[in-house]
Structure 1
Amino acid sequence: MPVPDRIKSLLSTLLVPPALLYGLGMRLARRLATPVHPGLPCVGVGGMQPGLPGTVLVTSWLLGWADHHGLRTSVVTPPLRAGRDPQTMRATPGADPGVIDAQAIALSMYAPRAAVLCDPDPRRAVESAIGAFRPDLLIAHDGLSRPSPARNLQIMVLGQDDLTTGFGRPIPAGRWREDASALRRADMFVVYMTPGRFAEQSGLIEKRLSRYGRPVASVSPRAWRLRQVAGRQTAQDFAGEPYLLVTTESERRTTPEALSALLPGPRLSVIFPDGHRFTVQELRQVLADATRLKCPRVVCPPVTAIRLASRLAALDGGDAVTLWTYDPDVVFGPSLSGGESFRDWWQAAWERITGPTPPEPEYPAQKDAPEAE
């Protein structure tokens, strides 16, 4: 049963004191930590809250950029939840999302030549990456609150909630892993919003972030192809057949906008909280709703589809409704107050770290990887 907004607000207020203590504890832990220096260019891509979908878009774009320039790249990322095996595991497109996080699996699909390593111990992950793959670039994905590895650059990805009701609210009052002082570590802010929404919210974004003196740009996905999760079937549309959309709170606006290039609106949208652990009853209800509304397909954003694929297929009736997702292009929208675009900022930042970028080699286009505009 949903919790009324008034009760949510009261609980959030009561949790402010422990949240302040949590933020102070994280700040102290960072000061006392000794980060491991990988000895090669290292870029962090992470958000104040864990698992924000925009981080996958930014990291996948960086992986595509590096591959296009002939650079070997490794990604190190922590498990989204505790309790995983204490070892370094390499993500692959067919990996079990119960063992390796779905974001890592998605990155391995988008950049098959990169090594995407998941490990709760960042020092061990860095040693594994350098020892086994000898990368030219290391990306610390979704590990903003972890001191290791030491970064040359930190790209901070924020969502709508981070700029409104969730701003400055660490755990347990909110979802931030640190207090607002962490925003000072950003070299670039990327807001996970469509270009239109970013323009509408520009006043709020400037109010929250202008004090840090860093460039701010938007990022969002745009579907260029629909893909059945189980199997190799792809499509550009559903020939007018209806579908049911399952998405998360942080993607409730970006997902319909991404799909609008290929599909009309869904017959029904089912929206779950970010980081939600789906129950069998909830998944059965999704299938029942799809059947009742005569929707032969359920469509999810890519990371959610990875999490749900095997679980939906195992349910009775799962064969009557197929699970689909989309392959995204990465759309970097306008920058705040006419500042640098993300690509211009990245090119200049990379050259500050390593010197001028070598001429681009001629590689055949790989449309399976997200592309940027």
Structure 2
Amino acid sequence: MSFSSLGLSAGILSAVEAQGYSEPTPIQAAAIPAVLAGKDVMATAQTGTGKTAAFTLPMLHNLGGPSGSAPRVLVLTPTRELAGQVVESVGTYGKQAKVRTTAVYGGMPIGKQIGALKRGVDVLVATPGRLMDHMERGTVDLSKVETVVLDEADRMLDMGFIQPIEKILRAVPSQRQTLLFSATFSKAIRKLAERFLSDPERIEMARPNAAAEGVTQSAYLVDGNRKRDLLTHLIDSEDWGQVLVFTRTKRGADKLAEHLEREGVRSTAIHGDKTQGARTKALSSFKRNQVQALVATDVAARGLDIDSLPHVVNFELPDNAEDYVHRIGRTGRGGAEGNAVSLVCADERRQLNAIERVVECRIPASVAEGFEPTAKASSGPRRNGPNNGRQGRGNGQGRGGQDRRRA
């Protein structure tokens, strides 16, 4: 199947071709015709499979071009980084149509956003909290909205945005097209769809909470106080040129980045306490390979789109097992191969078990020579989960050749 067979306009097809794409991904092939037909859509797919273009391309086709001053399309995203990604996509594919787009999110001067809204916008991309600020100030007009996109809807619910989302959806016209895209599928997502979507076409390209096919998952068992040293060792011995590292807290991200810098690994941290300028600079430096390790919290990393990112490390496992899927989804994007490594201390064994149940595969756990754990797990021995053969391709030898004994 080619993009030209999906019914998109010549201008959009030209923009797609200019980006070097000729064939749609499965989610794009399934979603684009449904969106073009004006249907509500509820779509789930693995992270990194092209969900943004799956709604951006048909949305721009239906929009046609600039008209009026109030937005006709509203895209809600959980984070400013993801909002920026959507704006970039609209700019790339809607350039010929001269579609006006702007993003409103926290961390940026609200006055500039008010000015942009007054000048007129066709596609408004917003985080729920900042959009609510504009609604309360009366600086945004949602009365002309024809299409609402809930992007990364599961994350917005996880972040506690359910009430703002409900208020926003009640504020836009009831006669509208609503598109819900999510990397995971939960009971809360189904309830949201039942309330605000009208007879949606359900598109599910992968089983819920599945990790991308090309991602090799593995774990190292290590004492908590040796994690920093092990991470430095892995980056050096396995020659990891670029790695995204997840921590649970902002302070932990800063401390780890400082440690890696002291050990000679060019590093920077990205989290919610950083200004938008600092976050943009950090991400840009990472993408340009000026920084070797980007240390991030879950919220800050949501929506990061980094081409060909080879390695993701869970320095600390997330409390929510589904967050693990989002984390490792930063690698193995667009069909590329990726490597997801978790550093697991004794107190995290239960979390690893929970993650294995969510992804429905066993994550091979090994011990790096010289970093043998001494602490015992309080939860008892690990449960050996099922292995579906798609993840965990390790053969017991690390890339750097060191001995990796099975735990």
TM-score (norm: length of structure 2): 0.34
Compute the TM-score of the two structures, normalised by the length of structure 1: 0.36
- Bigger relative contact order, structure 1 or 2, given CA contacts below 8 A and separation 6+? 1
